[in-house]
Amino acid sequence: MRRPFVLVAFALGFAAISPAGARAQAQAPWMRPAEPLAAPVPFEVGELLEYKVKLGILNAGEGSLEVAAIESVRGTPAYRAVMRIDGGVLFARVRDVFQTWFDTRTLTSLRFIQDQNEVGSKRYRHYEMFPERGVWERRDDEEVGDLPTSLPLDDISFVYFIRTLPLEVGDVYTFNRYFKDTGNPVVIRVLRKEEKEVPAGIFKTIVVQPIIRTRGLFGQGGRAELYFSDDERRALVYMRSSIPIVGSLTLHLTNPPAWQPQPGDTTGVTPP
């Protein structure tokens, strides 16, 4: 069975960065920690990105990507980020909610929940990651497995991790941080810079192609591309990929990011 819709189905590892290992340690000037011991990041609690969803050429619904809160997971402060997709046309319906909890200090995943209902297929998975023990467990089942890394990431926390990278055109990153070893290695290609118009305005973007060793959205046949704002925030402005039956799925940012003065302005100005 093909894996149902997932925005990002892989994760990464600093130890395998190539060729931009040195640059990956650099921090954008506007990155700031959310709490005293948190890692500097280009996002913050309360960030909400909203999208128009298209299946093929048809408007199909709405989606969002939100940093909802900082919560405690087994005593560790963790960002809780939520991605929602709700839309459909004719027989093709997508209703997905993904939640990730990742450590504010190391940006590693501690919990991941998938609740998916799309194109006639339902899928629910609740994963708990234990980096200190080197294992993951499924709470909705008896499945367990070994973590291939002490710094695991899941499908959604990857989006936030990639926003911390330099992303220079021509770079190719190779990582081994997906929490299930079958998804590794992950290859990230930084393809080009492109000006992209979406309902929220016109953005300078940098286009990234992720490739994961699964049959999911970012598998080798998915031809997925992620358009991040070409500024310190690296907000996800647009995404496109192939999915079964329908052919293509795209997300189009609809709400102007809080750091942009007005809709339609080209990004690239450092926020005050």
Is pLDDT at 181 greater than 70 in this prediction? Answer: yes
Is pLDDT at 97 greater than 60 in this prediction? Answer: yes
Position 20 scores a pLDDT of 39
Written as six digits, the tokens of 204 are: 């300078």
Name the H helices within the chain. Answer: 157-162
Q: Are 86 and 61 in contact (CB under 8 A)?
A: yes
Written as six digits, the tokens of 252 are: 């189009």
Written as six digits, the tokens of 49 are: 């990105």
Q: Where are the domains positioned within the chain? A: 14-23+47-253
Whole-number Cα distances in Å, 178 to 128, 131, 222, 230, 245 = 14, 12, 18, 25, 27
Written as six digits, the tokens of 139 are: 């709470």
Percentage of the chain exceeding pLDDT 90 = 54
The torsion region of residue 256 among left (phi > 0), alpha (psi -120 to 50) and beta comes to: beta
167-180: average pLDDT:
93
Which residues make Cβ contacts (< 8 Å) with residue 261, sequence separation at least 6? Answer: none
Q: Are 141 and 127 in contact (CB under 8 A)?
A: no
Percentage of the chain exceeding pLDDT 70 = 76
Is pLDDT at 120 greater than 90 in this prediction? Answer: no
Is pLDDT at 188 greater than 60 in this prediction? Answer: yes
Position 222 scores a pLDDT of 55
Q: What is the pLDDT of residues 40-88, one digit of tens each?
A: 999 999 999 999 999 888 898 999 999 999 999 999 999 999 999 888 7
Alpha-carbon distance of 162 to 271, in angstroms, equals 20
Q: Which of 26-30, 54-58, 68-72, 168-172 has the lowest mean pLDDT?
A: 26-30
Structure confidence at residue 6 as a pLDDT band (50, 70, 90): very low
Beta-strand runs (E) in the chain: 48-55, 58-73, 76-89, 92-103, 109-118, 121-130, 135-138, 144-146, 172-175, 186-198, 201-211, 225-229, 236-243, 247-253
Position 147 scores a pLDDT of 97
220-224: average pLDDT:
65
Q: Which of 6-15, 117-126, 146-155 has the lowest mean pLDDT?
A: 6-15
